[in-house]
Amino acid sequence: MQTDVGAPGGRPSDERATALSVDESTPLDGSVRRDTMTINMGPQHPSTHGVLRMILTLDGETIVRAQPDIGYLHTGIEKTAEGKSYFKSLVLTDRMDYLAPLNNNLGYSLAVEKLLGIEVPERALYGRVILAELQRIASHLVWLGSSALDLGAQSVFLYCFREREIILDIFELCSGVRMMTSYIMPGGLQADLPEGFERAVREFLALFPSRLREYHDLLTNNRLWIDRTKGICLLSAADAIKFGCTGAVLRGSGVAYDVRKFFPYCGYERFEFDIPVGSNGDVYDRYLVRMLEMDQSLRIVQQALDGLPGGAWQVDDPKIVAPPKYMVSSNMESLIHHFKLYTEGYRPPLGEVYVRTESPKGELGFYMVSDGSAKPYRMHVRAPSFANLQALPTMIEGAFVADVVAAIGSIDIVLGEVDR
Amino acid sequence: MADEQRQTSGQGAAPAPDFPLNPLAEATVTVLRERLGDAVLDVAEHRGETTVVLAPERIAEACELLRDADGLRYNFLADVTAVDWPTREPRFDVVYHLLSLETRAVVRLKVQVGAPADAGDPTVMPEVPSVTGVWPAADFFEREVFDLFGIRFAGHPNLTRILMPQDWVGHPLRKDYPITGILLPEPHWGGQVPYDAPLPPGIGEQTLRTTDGSEQPPVAPRGGPRGGDQAAGDPYSDQ
């Protein structure tokens, strides 16, 4: 998208572009300066983590004004969900934050379960916690690798993806799919945790702390890394709250808001873990918060794995989860349930719920309205990246162009989630 | 670590889950009733969540009140969205999810605006006061509601489309928005074509090139750059 149409003399396309494409920009104090330049960063810029477009007004190397422009990845997931049964909408949630599909599945499943008023068995609960925390580590690894790559630390990227692959192998073991698993579903899990799951997770738990130390060795005390991140793109606690930031962006600014502690869901109140918080609210603090969060996720996985009970992994209600295949071919009632579930789905009672969960990016909220039919009347996703992005202009105004890359990396946005 | 009180197997009848009410929900409703009186139209509870329906014109005032109320301090706006009930009067729910990072209070506020789909002038958008003055976080959320539902927020500093292209016609999350068979402007320019002004020469015209490399004379786009039907002012006339 360009702000001007055609050659010189072209007309700006809309009100917003008019405000942005004139060659003088208005600084905050209201004076007019004519020595600034407005440029596009993105939407195809490699460090914008997808298709984020930033309209930057520059005074030399310094950013006077920044405005994010989003929507390039808008796929209308909320609208699509209105036309599908609850069961089918699940796969849409995988594709929002595509770096953490299991956390999206979990948020969606909890919302539908709350609408239905059901509770899943313990094994599903523990399995969900293990998977969600592994997914958090996997998501943080992509963030670490790519944001370090943006700032020139190329080797970190390779190491991070090596470890992420181990986690994706575990997901593949469970669901047959590496990324878009849809493994956590309303009513429990798609299938029982497989044989070898526990061993695979324990192997990862034994391996990962040493790898995490390697990352710390590479970056945490690295002079180049500190120069690029410390004191850069500050965000005060008050601003972070004001702009609706959550996750590591808010915690990096020193506010200890973690949904897992504040409003425990899925049995998180049973596990011991800490919330790392930063103090300065700079890129380095957000980096440290996520690094320490990986430690805490490991602790949770360890505890959940030790407490993992046997038994059922789905609710015992054939109206919500399909009966096993062998029963469908031998039992009339199961066949009917199977048919009804896949052709029509279940009908939650009239009502509305808002379920918040802590995704790797921050507070992921699902607002679901049921009109008593088999399709969600409305599904709204409160995407953490969407809200976190609002703080970006405040962070980078007054900074250098090179710091924009650091800032975008540090808020860890996923455009699939921002645009939905 | 595992809670002994809980069953370890879900086989058989699952225990009925309880959804406890937020401890500060009652205090929130009391504050709103005391200070706003008749503007509190309804209070509902579902699955432990409290919803307060307010008069639309008082929403910004109510938000400011809750943000500053002692013992509540709703300092965080988690979400703003809307729900379309096309046959109902008023048509839209605008929904606010409030949260306090200090007291852990949560509440859902709701205002109802707009005429039903088949009544009134469809080009007139319903209007709600903006809460960007209370929490700047509302900026993107309100723009999203404006873009996808066509609800205006009075006092919003930059109420433009955020997800859809700037020249998009219609509001996709409205229930009467067609989910298929939309006539796109031809060709669709994705926000590059001005609404009214004549186009610069060459823009919007198609040059047809045949397989032997010769060019046909340029063809002007049908019905102007934005497509005939949209230009006529009826976004759904194609249906």
Per-residue pLDDT of chain B (239 residues; tens, 9 = 90+): 333 333 333 344 445 567 878 888 888 888 888 888 888 888 888 888 899 999 998 899 899 888 888 888 898 999 999 999 988 888 899 999 999 998 888 999 999 998 777 777 777 788 999 999 999 999 999 999 998 998 999 989 888 888 887 777 778 888 877 766 554 444 444 444 444 555 555 554 544 555 555 655 554 444 444 443 333 444 443 43
What pLDDT shows up at residue A296?
A: 92
Closest residue, chain B, to A15 (C-alpha): B160
Query: Which amino acid belongs to residue A364?
Result: L
Task: Judge: A71–B164 Cβ closer than 8 Å, yes or no.
Answer: yes
By the CB < 8 Å criterion, does A268 face chain B? Answer: no
Complex prediction ipTM: 0.84
Spell B138-155 as b/e; 16+ CB within 10 A means b.
Answer: bbbbbbbbbbbbbbbbee
Residue A362: left (phi > 0), alpha (psi -120 to 50), or beta?
Answer: left
Query: Which amino acid belongs to residue B118?
Result: D
Mutation site, B42, B98, B134, B162, interface A, largest A CB count within 10 A: B162
Residue A122 is nearest to which of B6, B148, B158, comparing CB atoms? B6
Task: Judge: B101–A83 Cβ closer than 8 Å, yes or no.
Answer: no
Distance CA B87, CA B91 (A): 7
Pairing of strands B49-54, B40-46: antiparallel
Mutation site, A263, A352, A395, interface B, largest B CB count within 10 A: A352
Query: Which amino acid belongs to residue B68?
Result: D
Is residue A352 a contact partner of residue B19, using CB atoms and an 8 Å limit? no
What pLDDT shows up at residue A19?
A: 46
Two tokens at B84?
């379309």
Task: Judge: B3–A310 Cβ closer than 8 Å, yes or no.
Answer: no
Residue A270 is nearest to which of B2, B7, B136, comparing CB atoms? B2
Distance CA A20, CA A12 (A): 9
Task: Judge: A309–B2 Cβ closer than 8 Å, yes or no.
Answer: yes
Interface of B with A in 7-36 (CB under 8 A): 7-17, 19
Residue B194 is nearest to which of A5, A312, A382, comparing CB atoms? A5
Interface of B with A in 104-163 (CB under 8 A): 104, 106, 108, 135-137, 139-141, 144, 148, 158, 160-163
- Could you list the pLDDT tens digit for every one of the 420 residues in chain A? 333 333 333 333 444 444 444 444 555 666 655 577 888 887 877 777 778 888 888 888 888 888 888 888 888 899 889 888 898 889 999 988 889 999 999 999 999 999 998 889 999 999 999 999 999 999 999 999 998 888 888 888 999 999 999 999 999 999 888 888 889 999 889 888 998 899 999 999 999 999 999 899 888 888 888 888 888 888 899 999 999 999 999 999 989 899 998 899 988 989 999 999 988 888 999 999 999 999 999 999 999 999 988 888 888 888 888 888 888 888 898 899 889 888 888 899 999 999 999 999 999 999 999 998 888 999 999 999 999 999 999 988 888 888 888 888 888 888 888 888
Distance CA B63, CA A251 (A): 24
In the Cβ-directed half-sphere of A215, how many Cα atoms lie within 13 Å? 28
Residues in A touching B19 (Cβ below 8 Å):
114
Residues in A touching B17 (Cβ below 8 Å):
117-119
Two tokens at A212?
């995490």
Residue with tokens 């088949």: B118
Task: Judge: B9–A309 Cβ closer than 8 Å, yes or no.
Answer: yes
Distance CA B69, CA B103 (A): 11
Identify the DSSP state of B141: H
Residues in B touching A420 (Cβ below 8 Å):
163
Task: Judge: B1–A303 Cβ closer than 8 Å, yes or no.
Answer: yes
Two tokens at A276?
């790392």
Residue B8 is nearest to which of A13, A122, A271, comparing CB atoms? A122
B230: exposed, middle or buried (Cβ count in 10 Å: 0-12, 13-18, 19+): buried
What is the signed CA dihedral for A23, A26, A31, A32, rounded to 10 degrees? Answer: 10
SS3 B26: helix
Query: Which amino acid belongs to residue A213?
Result: R
Identify the DSSP state of B206: B
pTM: 0.82
Residues in B touching A8 (Cβ below 8 Å):
none
Across-strand partners of B178? none
What pLDDT shows up at residue A164?
A: 92
What pLDDT shows up at residue B80?
A: 93
Closest residue, chain A, to B98 (C-alpha): A244
Beta carbon pairs, A and B, within 8 Å? 176
Interface of A with B in 372-401 (CB under 8 A): 377-378, 380, 382, 386-387, 389-390
Residue A270 is nearest to which of B1, B47, B162, comparing CB atoms? B1
What pLDDT shows up at residue B25?
A: 83
Residue A289 φ then ψ, to 5°: -55, -45
* Minimal C-alpha gap between A359 and chain B (Å): 14
* Minimal C-alpha gap between B173 and chain A (Å): 6
Residues in B touching A124 (Cβ below 8 Å):
10
Interface of A with B in 286-325 (CB under 8 A): 303, 306-307, 309-312, 314-317
What pLDDT shows up at residue A165?
A: 93
What pLDDT shows up at residue A357?
A: 93
Task: Judge: B140–A390 Cβ closer than 8 Å, yes or no.
Answer: yes
Residue A354 is nearest to which of B49, B177, B197, comparing CB atoms? B49
* Minimal C-alpha gap between B148 and chain A (Å): 10
